[in-house]
Amino acid sequence: MAESNSEPWTVHMSGRERVRHVAELLDEPTPVQEIADRADVSRATADDELRRLESDDWVTETTVDGTKAYDLNPVRMLFDEVTDLIESHSREELERRLTGLKAEQEELAAEYDVGSLDEFRERLADEELSAAELRERRNAIATWEAINTELGLVKHALQLYDDVLELASPRTDSPSTLA
């Protein structure tokens, strides 16, 4: 990092904060040294903070080309996304979102005359298509996959909605329904 770019970074955040910030932005397993370089800290500082983040279940240790690396904990990410959905949407909004996503999925199925994503993929390999048609269908498949991901998150949010709200609300004398 150039000196002019690193000054605000190093002045406003501690080394450990920078490691946490870099870890939050990981989109694939990343070696410790690369995380240290991005955070502008020593490898030892990065390794120490990453071990701490691992003990808090924020990241998971793995290897990349035989080198120790870290990635965001996918379970933690799932729960964070579901919790964010619940905190920022009412049950009714989530139900409307679920309906909208299902409608988008059904529109794709009807447009390409397929019953499932797997069938869509199979047809992609079976049919003689131009490069433009292949690109269009690959884009439609990517859209369908994104819809499936969002559907799963919204369904989880609806399933956990009452429990998360109850656990997030101030304590009362009433017994928990989670017992």
Q: Using one digit for the tens of pLDDT, what is the confidence trace for 99-150? A: 999 999 999 999 999 999 999 998 888 888 888 998 999 999 999 999 999 9
Are 158 and 103 in the same domain?
yes
The pLDDT score that the predictor gives to residue 3 is: 43
| Total structural domains within the chain | 2
Q: Which two tokens stand for residue 62?
A: 């793995």
**Domain CATH code at residue 36:** 1.10.10.10
Are 29 and 93 in the same domain?
no
Please, which pLDDT band fits residue 174 given cuts at 50, 70 and 90? low
CA dist., res. 28 & res. 30, Å (int): 6
Nearest to 66 by CA among 29, 95, 103, 36: 29
Please, which pLDDT band fits residue 71 given cuts at 50, 70 and 90? very high
pLDDT tens track for 19-65: 999 998 998 999 999 999 999 999 999 999 999 999 998 999 999 99
16 lies in which domain range?
A: 3-72
Are 111 and 161 in the same domain?
yes
Residue 175 lies in a domain: no
Are 154 and 95 in the same domain?
yes
The pLDDT score that the predictor gives to residue 151 is: 96
Residue 9 lies in a domain: yes
Are 61 and 11 in the same domain?
yes
Q: What DSSP state is assigned to residue 112?
A: T
Of 42, 72, 102, which residue sits at a domain end? 72
Is the entire prediction scored with pTM above 0.85?
A: no
Residue 81 lies in a domain: yes
Of 47, 72, 97, which residue sits at a domain end? 72
